[in-house]
Structure 1
Amino acid sequence: MEIRKVAVIGAGVMGAGIAAHISNAGIPVILLDIVPEGADNRNVVAEGAVAKMLKTQPAPFMHKKNARLITTGNIEDNLDLLADCDWIIEAVIERLDIKQNLYRKIDAVRRPGSVVSSNTSTIPLRDLVDGQSDAFAADFMITHFFNPPRYMRLLEITAGDQTRAEVVESIRDFCDRSLGKGVVTCKDTPGFIANRIGIYWIQVAILEAMALGLTVEEADAVMGRPLGIPKTGVFGLSDLVGIDLMPHLMESMQRTLPKDDPFLEKSTIPDLISNMIADGYTGRKGKGGFYRLNRDGGKKVKESIDLKTGEYRPSVKAQMESLTAARHGGLKALVAHPDRGGQYVRRVMAQVLGYAARLVPEIADNILAVDEAMKLGYAWKYGPFELIDRIGTTDFVKLMESENLQVPPLLQRVGDGSFYRVQKGQLQYLDTAGNYQDVVRPDGVLLLSDIKRRSEPLAKNGSAALWDIGDGVVCLEYTSKMNAMDPDILALMRESVDIVTNGYKALVLHNEGDNYSVGANLGLLLFAANIGTWDQIEEMVEGGQQTYKALKYAPFPVVGAPSGMALGGGCETLLHCDAVQAHAETYIGLVEVGVGLIPGWGGCKEMLQRWITNKRRPGGPMPAVIKCFETISTATVAKSAAEAKDFLFFRPGDGITMNRDRLLADAKSRALELAQDYQPPEPIEIRLPGPTAKAAMEMAVKGVRLSGRATAHDVVVSMALAEMLSGGDTDITEPLTEDDLLALEREAFMSLIRHPDTLDRMEHMLETGKPLRN
């Protein structure tokens, strides 16, 4: 069954977000909601939701033009629009009577065989279909999206006893490939997987922090990064999702969970939290939460609530010996530490991980589904069973026993083994019967982590590795901190050209880090500048230029496969590729001006060539030069792969993959396609206006400076950029080669790296992670 058109009923935050993300896949969407009493515009709710999303940050739409794919209406006048929809998603208020009444209306107008699903996570599927027609029940399922739908990868699906298998498969495949979701099959149990465990984790962590007398900063520091959990920890996460949700979640769990469930023992809302909600301290959407920004006196002061008194005080960084131990010895050192931080982790994780082990196979058929749900739904780096393995199963059982907790059968079954193991390069997991099963990837999924388990790199150094990913294609992986570009990466890039030339068909640039690359290694550059090794810096700049140029003109195709941030020098690698197959959530830009520099590894040159040869631009080189200047001088970053095409960071023909797990396979396929009868690109020459263009850019910069939107050093950097982009001392009659443009880049870069204000910017960025406005 092909999904060609979708309807979403319910234009609240969740329903509207689902509609927006379906439009991100290029699919037309009908968005319906109620008609408010006395409204002149009967579609005002749905129309207002779309208008609001166009202004929301982070943006629900990957490109604003996607909003055109949404047709708005209301459930009184426009239910007939459902007749040609393949999938109808209900996202209305969590009341069974309202949902069932709506289903009867949907069933009367929908096309036979169309899928209907609910976004609920609190009402059992069996109750939702009770009293509905057999045909409706056969086409009905639950599809539980996580908020915000564009950014949260988890989609939990649940089918009923009557649901047709082909319905489930069609939705699973569409959500995987077209929406980029990690689809996890759940059983029809309260909270499904992620919220059943995640809400319990939050509640236990809050109660134990209070019991042990920890500050919110200490609790979040310990319960965050050392465990592979986002730095928001528990209290910061509660502020983010809304503290006022907690009573509703607890009520739902109290109403639906079995009476012997350990969750119920922890479901009481502390008085402190009840008082916070009553006073409007509901988190970031309210006056504040466990943290708040105090703006009294004209300054922003971050404050934290005292869990004993309920009073706010200035936030202080957590200082605990267990945190130091975790930085050096990892999770085991943290769990073993005797201070309050170690005790806190032991008490919380003994309960939460033990609870997760107790729930298999009640909530899911295997541990894979549980780990995947927590990683995708709560952004944990490791799932519960992966965390148990990292602690050690034997040690974890002892930990549970020391906390007087009953050890679940699944943990007893694993004994002194592990939940995961690698056998002959194959990742395996322990099933509920105590046997190991291979982890099988879906068709079209190729993970570099799997390749690395079963093979050795073709070449490797401290910052990069080269892998054979099959069929004559090689993958260059960056492994430096935050995948920052450094001399080792450049060296292996040069080596890869020789390796691929002598025995392979194509090269893919890809890694599975959070970010493709955050740019050049600023620390190395600042160190070299501080000791005045200007010749070495210029050699490094020229070396990067020539390395990227060698990639561009290699006798084989090079395909970039980025995800996450691709900034500065990382962006420049992609500009030199034959093609890019990008994950939809790629955020790309040339941001060097933020540290007082301009792109120096061919980024300016490539952007000029792209805009001047772009068929859609107005005639003459001046508009192209101005467009490059605007983009680079403002450190513009595209906030999606779709948006990146507007700025020509990606070409119109570059591909976009919605599901990150499918990115490498798609890039490999693109590389093999290009490898057939491949010919390197022909070098091109361009003509630039010279002083005429520079004068125009100078006038623009002076205007921005007079308006107060540019600092003194912004002007210095912008004029160096203008000199380079205008072509320097040239005119429109003189053709410039790539090497001419690269020489201009180097000259501008070297003039700026010597400037003390640039060095101040670089140092400030390294120390604070924020740009200095000097």
Structure 2
Amino acid sequence: MEIRKVAVIGAGVMGAGIAAHLANAGVPVLLLDIVPEGAEDRDALAKGALERLRKAKPAAFMHRGAARLVTPGNVEDHLERLAECDWIIEAVVERLDVKQALYRRIEAVRRPDAVVSSNTSTIPRARLVAGLPEPFAASFLITHFFNPPRYMRLLELVAGPEVRPEAVEAVAAFCDRRLGKGVVRCKDTPGFIANRIGIFWMQTALAAAIEQGVPVEEADAVLGRPLGIPKTGVFGLADLVGIDLMPHLMESLLATLPPGDPLRAVAEVPPVVARMIAEGYTGRKGKGGFYRLRRDDGGRLKEALDLASGAYRPARKARLESVEAARTGPRALLEHPDRGGRYARHVMLRVIAYAAALVPEIAERASAVDEAMRLGYNWRWGPFELADRIGAGWLGEALAADGLEVPPFLARAAQAGGFYRVEAGRLEELGPDGAWHAVPRAPGVLLLRDVQRRGEPLARNGSASLWDVGEGVACLEFHTKMNALDPQVLAMVRRAVEEIPARGMRALVIHNEGEHFSAGANLGLLLYSANLALWDQIEAMVREGQETYLALKRAPFPVVGAPSGMALGGGCEILLHCDAVQAHAELYMGLVEVGVGLIPAWGGCKELLARFARGGPRGPMPPVMRVFETISLAKVSTSAEEARELGYLGPDDGITMNRDRLLAEARARALALAEGYRPPEPPTFVLPGPAGRVALEMALEDFRKQGKATAHDVVVACELARVLSGGETDVTAALAEEDLLALERAAFMRLVRHPDTLARMEHMLETGKPLRN
């Protein structure tokens, strides 16, 4: 079956968010809710939800046009429209009676082949379909999205033995390919996978912090980055999702948890938390939570809750030796004798043991549990991956030493040397049966980390590597901090241009599996060189970047960029020099150099001018003005679709919703381009010269007078205007790429010597925020 139109019933936070993400995938959505009592507009709830979605931060829609795909309505007047839908998602209040009453109404109007699913996270599927007609049960699933649906990749899918296989496969494939979800098939057990373990982790951490007198800042410091968990840790996460949500989740879980489940021992809501909820301290959506910001005399003071007294005090930076020790690995944290180490040991021993005890009850595979925690809670490693980093044998001994039961699955892993192994270049996992099994990959998924397990790279240095990803395609990977670009990255780009033809390969993909594609050029290296007045060295590096990117553009084979996350500055510029881009939907792309007092100088100005001149209004000024606005305002896309609107992506560039499919789709794009490939013809530029520059500078002066541009903003923008207008060129002359690169380079070198630029660079490195000077 094909899913072409979807209905979402329930326009609350989750239902509305699901509807928005369906629209992001280009799917028409019917969003229904009840008719409010006495309402003049019977669609008020759904319309109000749609209006909130348009204003949501972070954005729920990937581009402005997506909102037009959502049609608001109500369940009294528009229920018959469900007959037009292939998939109907219920996202109403977590009450069994309300859901079942709605299901009976849906069954009266839905098409026989339409799938119905619930977004519930607490009510078992067996209870939801109990007493309902057999045809309904055969088409009913649980599809548990995580909030916010656009950004959280986990989709927990629960089916029963009576469900039509084609219905399960259709929804799974749609969520994977069209919605970009990591679909984890779960058993029909309380809380499924991620919340069963995640809530146990949070409740255990809360109880232990109160019992051991651990301040919330220290708890978050040790149960955060040292363990591959987001820096919010436990208490910051509770503030983010809403402290008042936890008691409701616990109440629902307790109704279905088996007797003796360890979660029952930590399920009680502590008095300090009950008091917070009663007084409106429910987290970021309320008056504050475990943390709050207090505004005094125009300033802001971050405060933290004292768990013993319930009073707020100034937040303190956690300074723990155990956190420093964790730089060598997570076991060092758990072994450390200070308060943070003892706390981390107490919590994580129990969490990993709990996860091990739940396999195969909640999932057949350890890798499914790990994937659920990575995608649902943003853990870098799932509990079994983390266990291998700590050492399964050590964990078993530590549990026994603390008088805790060692689950049989963990004991088997201790004997086998871990939960995972690489055998003949293939990742395998230990099953609860004690045998080794290949970790499954869905058809069409190609992961660079799997390629890396199979052998050595074609070439490698300290900052980048070149890999053979099959079918005659190489992959250039950056692996610096934040994938910043430095001389060694440029050297590997040059090496790739030489190696690919020499090896008889057909194409190159530029891709990595870091959180971000590239944060741009290495700013620390640049500032260091500037402070030592190494001007010749800086200019040589700028020239090397320009020549390297130009060589990439003119290579005798196609180059496809495959970015995800941030692609800023030089990271954006390398993509602008590719023949095509196959981008992950979550792409934050832009030329942001003005924020540190510079302009793009590795061909970014040149490439934007070239693409804006193609297909735009005739004459030299329209593309110049558009590029000037884009770069001077440091516009960054909030999605790949917006990158296309801004001109960073071309009309023929592709967008991939599921990041796990990005490399495979980029490789396919590269192979398609390789047939009869010829490098692009070098563009020529006809630019307005001094007259155009004066027009831009006059506009700048108006902005300065209005207070919209600082003094150094004007200095930087004037240099940008000089480049984009072609310097001293005549409007009748044609400039080559090299001419534009020379203008970029000269402007960059003037700016990098400016003290206000150096101040901006230093401020950015120290604070991560731009300085408006």
Distance 2:398 2:511 in 1: 40
Distance 1:399 1:637 in 2: 48
Letter in 2 for 1:340: R
Letter in 1 for 2:274: S
2:648 alignment counterpart: 649
Moved more, 601-610 or 206-215: 206-215
Deviation, 1:731, is 2.9
Deviation, 1:706, is 1.8
1:354 alignment counterpart: 353
2:675 is the counterpart of 1:676: yes
Distance 1:275 1:449 in 2: 47
2:562 alignment counterpart: 561
2:772 alignment counterpart: 773
2:293 aligns to what SS in structure 1?
Answer: strand
Q: How do residues 534-545 of structure 1 correspond to structure 2 at under 5 angstroms?
A: 534-545=535-546
Q: What do the CA deviations read for 1:47-96 (whole angstroms, capped 9, x no partner)? A: 11111111111111111101111111110000111112110000011111
Distance 1:533 1:677 in 2: 45
Q: What do the CA deviations read for 1:704-754 (whole angstroms, capped 9, x no partner)? A: 222222211111111111111111112321111111110110011011000
Letter in 2 for 1:596: G
2:377 alignment counterpart: 378
1:535 aligns to what SS in structure 2?
Answer: helix
Q: How do residues 36-185 of structure 1 correspond to structure 2 at under 5 angstroms?
A: 36-185=36-185
Identity %, equivalent residues: 65
1:456 aligns to what SS in structure 2?
Answer: coil
2:329·2:390 contact (CA, 8 Å) conserved in 1? no
1:741 alignment counterpart: 740
Letter in 2 for 1:410: F
Distance 1:26 1:567 in 2: 27
1:582 aligns to what SS in structure 2?
Answer: strand
Moved more, 414-423 or 427-436: 414-423
Distance 1:229 1:412 in 2: 25
Distance 1:478 1:100 in 2: 52
2:518 alignment counterpart: 517
2:29 alignment counterpart: 29
2:35·2:44 contact (CA, 8 Å) conserved in 1? yes
Moved more, 399-408 or 660-669: 399-408
Deviation, 1:127, is 1.2
Moved more, 693-702 or 228-237: 693-702
Distance 2:272 2:663 in 1: 48
1:369 alignment counterpart: 368
2:455 is the counterpart of 1:455: yes
1:735 aligns to what SS in structure 2?
Answer: coil
Deviation, 1:13, is 0.7
Distance 1:402 1:266 in 2: 21
Distance 1:452 1:34 in 2: 52
Deviation, 1:636, is 0.6
Distance 1:321 1:424 in 2: 40
Distance 2:14 2:248 in 1: 17
1:511 aligns to what SS in structure 2?
Answer: coil
Distance 1:313 1:693 in 2: 57
2:608 alignment counterpart: 607
2:357·2:409 contact (CA, 8 Å) conserved in 1? yes
1:531 alignment counterpart: 532
Deviation, 1:157, is 0.5
Distance 1:415 1:715 in 2: 64
Q: What do the CA deviations read for 1:616-662 (whole angstroms, capped 9, x no partner)? A: x3332212111111110111100100110011100010000000000
Letter in 2 for 1:286: G
1:406 alignment counterpart: 405
State the 4+ residue runs in structure 1 displaced beyond 4 angstroms: none
1:6 alignment counterpart: 6
Distance 1:478 1:720 in 2: 31
Distance 1:337 1:281 in 2: 34
Q: How do residues 197-596 of structure 1 correspond to structure 2 at under 5 angstroms?
A: 197-327=197-327, 329-416=328-415, 417-502=417-502, 503-596=504-597
1:294 aligns to what SS in structure 2?
Answer: strand
Letter in 2 for 1:593: V
2:691 alignment counterpart: 692
Distance 2:22 2:691 in 1: 47
Distance 2:241 2:75 in 1: 29
Moved more, 510-519 or 155-164: 155-164
Deviation, 1:310, is 1.2
Distance 1:82 1:693 in 2: 57
Q: What do the CA deviations read for 1:152-199 (whole angstroms, capped 9, x no partner)? A: 000000002321111111110110000000000111111100000001
Letter in 2 for 1:71: T
Letter in 1 for 2:390: I
Deviation, 1:512, is 0.3
Letter in 2 for 1:670: R
Distance 1:330 1:228 in 2: 10
Distance 2:9 2:104 in 1: 14
Letter in 2 for 1:413: R
2:422 aligns to what SS in structure 1?
Answer: strand
Letter in 2 for 1:89: I
2:457 aligns to what SS in structure 1?
Answer: coil
1:161 aligns to what SS in structure 2?
Answer: coil
Q: What do the CA deviations read for 1:288-328 (whole angstroms, capped 9, x no partner)? A: 1111100022111111111111111111110011111112x
Deviation, 1:699, is 2.1
2:519·2:567 contact (CA, 8 Å) conserved in 1? yes
1:645·1:651 contact (CA, 8 Å) conserved in 2? yes
Deviation, 1:402, is 2.4
1:429 aligns to what SS in structure 2?
Answer: strand
1:350·1:403 contact (CA, 8 Å) conserved in 2? no
2:329 aligns to what SS in structure 1?
Answer: helix
The count of corresponding residues between Structure 1 and Structure 2 is 771
Which segments of 5 or more consecutive residues in structure 1 lack a partner in the other structure? none
1:256 aligns to what SS in structure 2?
Answer: coil
2:713 alignment counterpart: 714
Distance 1:222 1:434 in 2: 33
2:24·2:62 contact (CA, 8 Å) conserved in 1? yes
Which segments of 5 or more consecutive residues in structure 2 lack a partner in the other structure? none
2:750 aligns to what SS in structure 1?
Answer: helix
Letter in 1 for 2:346: R
Q: What do the CA deviations read for 1:321-375 (whole angstroms, capped 9, x no partner)? A: 1111112x21121111111111011100111110001111111111111111000
Q: What do the CA deviations read for 1:577-612 (whole angstroms, capped 9, x no partner)? A: 000000000110000001000001000000011111
Distance 2:506 2:351 in 1: 49
2:387·2:395 contact (CA, 8 Å) conserved in 1? yes
Moved more, 566-575 or 316-325: 316-325
Distance 1:309 1:181 in 2: 43
1:629 alignment counterpart: 628
Distance 1:630 1:53 in 2: 28
Letter in 2 for 1:380: W
Distance 1:551 1:189 in 2: 53
Distance 2:401 2:770 in 1: 49
Deviation, 1:528, is 0.9
Letter in 2 for 1:262: P
Distance 1:625 1:47 in 2: 41
Letter in 2 for 1:386: E
Letter in 1 for 2:133: S
2:657 alignment counterpart: 658
1:688·1:732 contact (CA, 8 Å) conserved in 2? yes
Q: CA RMSD in A?
A: 0.9
Distance 1:593 1:42 in 2: 49
| TM-score, length of structure 2 as denominator length | 0.99
